[in-house]
Amino acid sequence: MLVAVLSVKGSPGVTTFSVALAARWPSATRTLLLEADPSGGDVGTRFSLASTPGLMSLAAAARRSDDPALLWQHAQALPGGLPVVAAPPDADRARAALSALSDPATGAGVVRTAASVPDTAVIVDCGRIGAESPAMPIVRVADAMVLLSRAHADDLAHLARQLPVIGRWTAHPVMLLVGEGYSAAEVARELGVLPLGRVPDDPRGAAVLCGRPSALRWGRRGPAHSALGQVAHKVAKALAEHAPRSAPPRQGPAENRPIPILRAVPGVPTNSVSANGLRLAPPPSPPNRKTTSRGGQAS
């Protein structure tokens, strides 16, 4: 299974959550974390990994072979043994490696092939993404996309504008809110899509996932006891349940696929999302209900 983790605005904790998701993926599955952030990697620095092997050596090798074992051959181990293919911290080098890896001729192919092996999960940290991102070819062939967004009005307004497009990137997109802010029910009402859950603000859990000294231990399967680790495990289980039995690469342009399924809310039409900003989805009743945008926040 191939899972792309990303944001469209800010730095809501994509790398931290990607590490958590990979570390807490159901244990029957062989799991690997691929850092594919075109703005440069953080995992290597955070965990004092060697500069190679990693994304650069993988991209070079992928020109010559599409062996599903390649990803594992270019991985290093995080504490607890989680294999990670780390991106170089330099953005230019990360972009160059990703562009090579996403070449349609060799392509996201090697990532897709590795993730299609049964009982395998490849979790990809795509960073902050846009249509021009060199990580986009991986998103487009992913089985699931996890979109992280802070739950404040500005982040959600930004997201609302892009949802109709984002929903077409991947067959199974899900949204997670991060930290304090609007409740899932409010977001569902405002955006017309139901968040799968909320990533808690958990500095101690995040510290261990970022390689910083912490009272929490990493352990064999990751930081199981942090609030962040527990949510990651629930999300991983929910995603794994949707794992395709065999995952053929999808054909054809994404635009031809059926539209947004960012967990549409029952009773709220998916086309109720405003194309130009955050607004309330049409209220079912009563007709004179207040529809002004809120400035405040709720949790």
Site residues (CB under 5 A) for Mg ion, limited to 7-66? 14-15
Angle, vertex CA 192, rays to CA 189 and CA 194, nearest 5: 85
Site residues (CB under 6 A) for ligand ADP, limited to 4-23? 7, 11-16
Residue in this structure with the two tokens 């060199």, named with its chain if needed? 134
Task: Write each residue from 130 to 149 as x if it is in contact with Mg ion (CB under 5 A), else as -, in one continuous string.
Answer: --------------------
CB 195 within 8 A of CB 184: yes
Phi-psi category of residue 127: left, alpha or beta, with phi > 0 → left and psi -120 to 50 → alpha: left
Residue 116, contacted partner among ligand ADP, Mg ion, none, CB below 5-8 A by kind: none
- Choosing from 81, 203, 249, 283, the residue that interacts with ligand ADP (CB under 6 A) is 203
Residue 16, contacted partner among Mg ion, ligand ADP, none, CB below 5-8 A by kind: ligand ADP
Binding to ligand ADP by residue 210, rule CB under 6 A? yes
Give me the torsion for CA of 159, 160, 161, 163, rounded to 10°: 80
- Minimum CB distance to ligand ADP smaller for 16 or for 270: 16
Residue 7, contacted partner among Mg ion, ligand ADP, none, CB below 5-8 A by kind: ligand ADP
Task: Write each residue from 218 to 237 as x if it is in contact with ligand ADP (CB under 6 A), else as -, in one continuous string.
Answer: ----------x---------
**Shortest Cβ 21–ligand ADP spacing (Å):** 12
Residue 170, contacted partner among Mg ion, ligand ADP, none, CB below 5-8 A by kind: none
**Shortest Cβ 210–ligand ADP spacing (Å):** 4
Size of the residue set binding ligand ADP (CB under 6 A) = 16
- Minimum CB distance to Mg ion smaller for 37 or for 143: 37
**145 vs 257: CA distance, rounded Å:** 15
When CB distances to ligand ADP are compared, the closest residue is 13
- Minimum CB distance to ligand ADP smaller for 68 or for 179: 179
**Shortest Cβ 7–ligand ADP spacing (Å):** 6
In this structure, how many other beta carbons lie within 10 angstroms of the beta carbon of residue 14? 23
**175 vs 195: CA distance, rounded Å:** 5
Catalogue the long-range contacts made by 248-251 (C-beta closer than 8 Å, 24 or more residues apart): 248/116, 249/109, 249/112, 249/116, 249/141, 250/140, 250/141, 250/171
CA distances, 260 to each of 47, 156, 203, 290 (Å): 37, 17, 33, 27
What would the 3-class secondary structure string for 38-84 be? CCCCCHHHHCCCCCCCCHHHHHHHHCCCCCCCHHHHCCEECHHHCEE
Q: For the chain, report the end-to-end CA distance as a whole number of angstroms.
A: 32
**Shortest Cβ 252–Mg ion spacing (Å):** 30
Tell me the residue type at 204: R
**282 vs 289: CA distance, rounded Å:** 10
Size of the residue set binding Mg ion (CB under 5 A) = 2
Site residues (CB under 6 A) for ligand ADP, limited to 30-89? 42
3-state secondary structure of 144: strand
Binding to ligand ADP by residue 94, rule CB under 6 A? no
- Interface stretch with ligand ADP, choices 77-85, 155-163, 203-211, 268-276 (CB under 6 A): 203-211
The contact set with ligand ADP (CB under 6 A) reads: 7, 11-16, 42, 199, 201-203, 206-207, 210, 228
The contact set with Mg ion (CB under 5 A) reads: 14-15
